[in-house]
Amino acid sequence: MTAQAIAAASAPETQVRRLRAVVTGLSLGAAVALTQALPAYAQEERPMSFSELAEQVSPSVVNITTSTMVAGGAGPQGIVPEGSPFEDFFRNLPEGGDGPRRSSALGSGFVISPDGYIVTNNHVIEGADEILIEFFDSDRELEAEIVGTDPNTDIALLKVDATDLPYVSFGDSNGDTAEVGDWVMAMGNPLGQGFSVSAGIVSARNRALSGTYDDYIQTDAAINRGNSGGPLFDMNGDVIGVNTAILSPTGGSIGIGFAMSASVVENVVDQLQEFGETRRGWLGVRIQDVTPDMVDAIEGMQEANGALVTDVPEGPAMEAGMEAGDVILTFDGQNVVDTRELVRIVGNSPVGKDVSVEVLRNGEEMDLTVTLGRRETAEAAQPAAQPGPDATEPEETSILGLTLSEVSEELTEQYGLDTEDGIVITDIDPASEAASKGLVAGDVITEAGQQEVATVADLEARIEEARDAGRRSLLLLVRRGGDPRFVALSLMEDEGDAEEGDAEDDGAEENADDE
């Protein structure tokens, strides 16, 4: 194979792979000649060294040492305080001891302004009563104060009393500066060894671990205990992520590390710097994903996208006229793919902003204008308890594999119901589709076909209406412990024609983050 033949390959990746394969079987002289034929863009995209980049950004990276008084017999906090959402990723070996003692923990961070603002992980500094910052290019240590923290994204903002500090900037606020396969470099203080550099590529984007606002970059650059809070750089020296967690059965790096995307971090840091806390937009709905088996049951729905509203408590959405059963298609001009996308968009929107929301209701698209509230304020509010009913025990009826009864005082006490409305599931056929969808005794059906049902007769009427309309499934709104979710059940099951695999299991659907 000649150099000209290699250069004729259609894709840049193909050229590189083929060239490497040929070079391994040639003499040194021939290999050099072929390497010279490598396209310029391929040579530029594969760095020969990270030394210049490391030298450029190292002065902005810091080591963080925290200390905390702990009770006797308790192990050290180590890299992650007890109760942190990432405790399983960064678990230290326990140590015994008698009486109170001071425990130290190590982490990393980076300077984002010349006047001393420093970003790190919340779990690095959580519970600490002293935070010391060690700088790369000197032996000096400065004590830091906490400006604000956000446990939801595991981000903290610190401040030291200093001027003219070297600092780094975040990458594109949209998080598009690094694509899968791009080179990245991580810096930090792994295992307390001091300033250290590791390199790899972006392995995946938009990973979710455990948080509502998760948007992690996955990388194979080595990240270990002590790297938490350190920066993940692109090849321009911009911070594209904050190293937060690893996935490992051993506790050490196996090439699966996670850095919170700069698109999330930058917005959080701006709010912490301005307010000392986060102020996220709040729509005031409970939502779940639209699954493929629901499409036929929702009038006007063409494909499984958007966010299905399961409940509208008192708040901005209720004031705007939004209703349970609406499917949110767009928010503030942005398409809503699923619930996670809606939560992210709403959370990044300013409190008090008037936004246009397009919803699908009864087969028609309509526009609503919502004035956003503040999520943190809404989360602090406690829901009021609802009184139980005084009705007597009615008769039971079996439909769609469900044994149903209207709400009664006895059932309210038995299942701890918090509603007077709807139909209670008292038993379920384990071989039915309803069982495979995760429905259990004690669930309450409050809507069918996006209409309220108060009696078994109401449900039977909705089933007949759906069949007369040619629908193969019926959308039920089911409440469990006050949490609502929609479930689509096949109407063919009673006729013995249920199709196996026609629907996905809804038992673990994302539901009811009060968005």
Side chain identity, residue 480: R
What is the per-residue DSSP string for 465-497? HHHHTT-SEEEEEEEETTEEEEEEEETTGGGT-
Q: How far apart are CA 209 and CA 207, in angstroms?
A: 7
Tell which residue, 425, 431, 439, has the closest CA to residue 487. 439
What is the per-residue DSSP string for 90-144? SPPPP---SS-EEEEEEEEEEE-STT-EEEEEHHHHTT-SEEEEEETTSS-EEE-
249 alpha-carbon distance from chain centroid: 22
Side chain identity, residue 485: R
Phi and psi torsions of 194, nearest 5°: 95, -175
Residue 354, annotated as binding a ligand:
no
| Catalytic site includes residue 173 | no
Catalytic residue among 84, 150, 154, 215: 154
Return the axis-axis angle of helices 28-36 and 12-23, rounded to nearest 10°: 170
CB 205 within 8 A of CB 85: no
- Centre a 10 Å sphere on the Cβ of residue 460 and count the other Cβ atoms it contains: 15
Residue 226, annotated as binding a ligand:
yes
Catalytic residue among 228, 261, 263, 473: 228
Catalytic residue among 60, 84, 108, 123: 123
- Centre a 10 Å sphere on the Cβ of residue 355 and count the other Cβ atoms it contains: 22
| Catalytic site includes residue 154 | yes
| Catalytic site includes residue 436 | no
Residue 506, annotated as binding a ligand:
no
Q: How far apart are CA 443 and CA 331, in angstroms?
A: 31
Residue 103, annotated as binding a ligand:
no
Residue 228, annotated as binding a ligand:
yes
C-alpha atoms less than 13 angstroms from C-alpha of 457 in its C-beta half-sphere: 2
Q: How far apart are CA 336 and CA 207, in angstroms?
A: 18
Phi and psi torsions of 306, nearest 5°: 90, 180
Q: Which residues are catalytic?
A: 123, 154, 228
Task: Give the residue numbers of the binding site for substrate.
Answer: 123, 154, 226-228
Task: Give the residue numbers of the binding site.
Answer: 123, 154, 226-228
